[in-house]
Structure 1
Amino acid sequence: MTFLELAEKVLLEVKRPLSSSEIWRYAEEKLYTGELGSQGKTPWATLGAQLHVSARDNEKSPFATIGSRPKKFYLKKLKYDKDLLVEEDLEVSGEVEDTMRYSERDLHALLAHFIFYTMESYSKTLDHTKTSKKHYGEWIHPDMVACHFPIDDIKPEVYDLSMAINESPIGFISFEIKKKLSFGNLRESFFQAVSNSSWAHESYLVTSEISTETEFLRELNRLCNSFGIGVILLDIDDPNDSEIFIDAEQRDELDWETINKLAINPDFKDFLVRVKKDVESREIRKEWYDKVESRESLIKFFEKKKG
């Protein structure tokens, strides 16, 4: 069974719009996920990405979407109660700016949770105030960085050999965070991400609010395809519904010149030192990375931000 066939099976049974995370959880409860031909490390993220692409780019797709926070999927061929669709649209597409009072900085904890549980990586927030801008100007470094340690997934002999021949399986990820993405700030936000994030194996522009205008999404997709930057959509109502909206391009090599430039920031320098020690010891010291808040505490925090 493919991911899209799995989603269609679930939606046929439930007969109401569901987010990709809700589809995955239902499939797990029914043991349908065991029928997938291939899953990978983050199958729920793969499911979300394939559903978004199918509904957005394929006119013959069986899926349609409603709302944006999170986006929910339903089957075109089913006859839904119109009142149900209106209710769902109001529920997930309310005007966030009028009811929510959270800052861009508040999203760091939400992203750290996503990085740890979905991307299986360890993050580090970079404090911009610690960086001198006199040498390089604006857009010096990203908001957060992360490292993926496949230590538990690789046999010690294979891991040691990869390190010996300079083909490390370690993966670095870079993140630029914006509270909202729309035509008004797309180009500045995007090229800020390009400027300070393309040093890593993967680079992402992260947001909690994204415009659903067709022309905006088309331009965002074009830019991502051109520069290899991915997009992560955070869900402030439920961290587990956050998802990779557009996949990032995987790069084989790191940009060491840019890494050297970023090391003027003390937090980034500490991150590099910590990763080196963890790689050498094959033991990850979680306390040296960003604290990962629980789903419940994050939900409670953002609930308090509601007006």
Structure 2
Amino acid sequence: MTFLELAERTLKEENKPLTSIEIWNIATKKGYDKQLNSQGKTPWATLGAQIYVSAKDDLKSVFGKTDSRPKKFYLKSMASQINLEDNSIPEDIVQTKEKKFDYLEKDLHKYLTYFAYYHLKCYTKTIKHNISNKKEFGEWVHPDMVGCYFRMDDWKKEVYDFSSSIGVRGTVMYSFEIKRELSFSNLRESFFQCVSNSSWANESYLVAARISENEDFSDELSRLSTSFGIGVIELNIEDPDSSEILIPAKHKKDLDFETINKLAMNSDFKEFLETVKIDMTSKKIHKKEYDFIESLEKLKIK
């Protein structure tokens, strides 16, 4: 059974418009998921993407989609038999709203530090906002975390020395804005906060532990990321090594030194710059000056 066959069968049996998550939940209860030839980690996301693309782009598709938010899907052949203006709250949305966070935003820093170190080869430093003068520079001043990747970790000494002699920068600077979740309720504010305080870096990322799988939301997130070059990282606090870059950041060759100069009013950021400079000059990374990297075993203990 293919994903679209699973969706068609489920919609026919339920005889009403359903969101992609509702289709998946119902199909799973009926055991249809066991008939899929799929080994992906997020089959529900694959299902939603395939139905959405089919309904949106394929004129011969058996699927139709409502204009509601979140999107609901139905079979065109049954359109006259069902209520396409059903405004009831989908089951998956109720579950999401009732689910409370058992962690704070600051609790996510150690997970990002772990991911950045092992998957980006990046040393991070947390920036404390309470020591910045927000009255002088506005509400959105600093990113939550900054980071640096040193090419000398990967390059031979002779290659690194040669690159420095011809003016090729031996680092990649990162900027991270962290949120507990990303959904339509906070997307624009979170995104433009990231744009506001992260544009100075080579690569900037918006990071969250819970990201909406709504198709419209994903489309808007992708559009904004493409327009401004901001990447998106989803943290997995249950299995930190399964955290992933959902959307890669656009790499910028040049740093914005005017903004860096403004950010240097924060002592944490100033210390970060000084540490990076010392490490590049000495060709030795002083790990103790960056955020402590927790072991995987400790991260999994809540």
Q: TM-score, normalised by structure 1?
A: 0.68
Deviation at 1:155, TM superposition (A): 2.2
- In the TM superposition, 1:1-307 aligns within 5 A as 17-19=39-41, 95=96, 98=99, 100-301=101-302
Deviation at 1:150, TM superposition (A): 1.4
Secondary structure in 1 matching 2:208? strand
- In structure 2, C-alpha distance between the alignment counterparts of 1:269 and 1:291, rounded to whole Å: 18
- In structure 1, C-alpha distance between the alignment counterparts of 2:229 and 2:51, rounded to whole Å: 19
- In structure 2, C-alpha distance between the alignment counterparts of 1:128 and 1:287, rounded to whole Å: 21
- In structure 2, C-alpha distance between the alignment counterparts of 1:146 and 1:56, rounded to whole Å: 38
Residues 19 and 241 in structure 1, CA contact (< 8 A), matched pair in contact too: no
The residue that corresponds to 1:23 in the other structure is none
- Residue type of the partner of 2:252? R
- Residue type of the partner of 1:238? D
- In structure 2, C-alpha distance between the alignment counterparts of 1:292 and 1:108, rounded to whole Å: 10
Deviation at 1:247, TM superposition (A): 0.6
Larger Rg: 2
Query: CA RMSD for the aligned pairs?
Result: 2.8
- In structure 1, C-alpha distance between the alignment counterparts of 2:204 and 2:121, rounded to whole Å: 15
Deviation at 1:56, TM superposition (A): 9.7
Secondary structure in 2 matching 1:270? helix
- Residue type of the partner of 2:292? K
Residues 145 and 175 in structure 2, CA contact (< 8 A), matched pair in contact too: yes
Secondary structure in 2 matching 1:207? strand
Q: 1:214 to 1:271 in 2, by over 3 A?
A: same
Q: 1:119 to 1:285 in 2, by over 3 A?
A: same
- In structure 2, C-alpha distance between the alignment counterparts of 1:291 and 1:258, rounded to whole Å: 27
Q: Unpaired segments of 5 or more residues in structure 2?
A: 1-35, 58-90
Secondary structure in 1 matching 2:258? helix
Secondary structure in 2 matching 1:190? helix
Deviation at 1:152, TM superposition (A): 2.9
- In structure 1, C-alpha distance between the alignment counterparts of 2:101 and 2:137, rounded to whole Å: 35
The residue that corresponds to 1:74 in the other structure is none
Secondary structure in 2 matching 1:134? helix
In the alignment of these two chains, the number of paired residues is 228
Deviation at 1:57, TM superposition (A): 9.2
Secondary structure in 2 matching 1:106? helix
Residues 205 and 232 in structure 1, CA contact (< 8 A), matched pair in contact too: yes
Deviation at 1:268, TM superposition (A): 0.4
Q: 1:186 to 1:198 in 2, by over 3 A?
A: same
Residues 145-154 or 115-124, more deviating: 145-154
Q: 1:297 to 1:56 in 2, by over 3 A?
A: farther
Secondary structure in 1 matching 2:300? helix
Deviation at 1:55, TM superposition (A): 6.7
Residues 113 and 124 in structure 2, CA contact (< 8 A), matched pair in contact too: yes
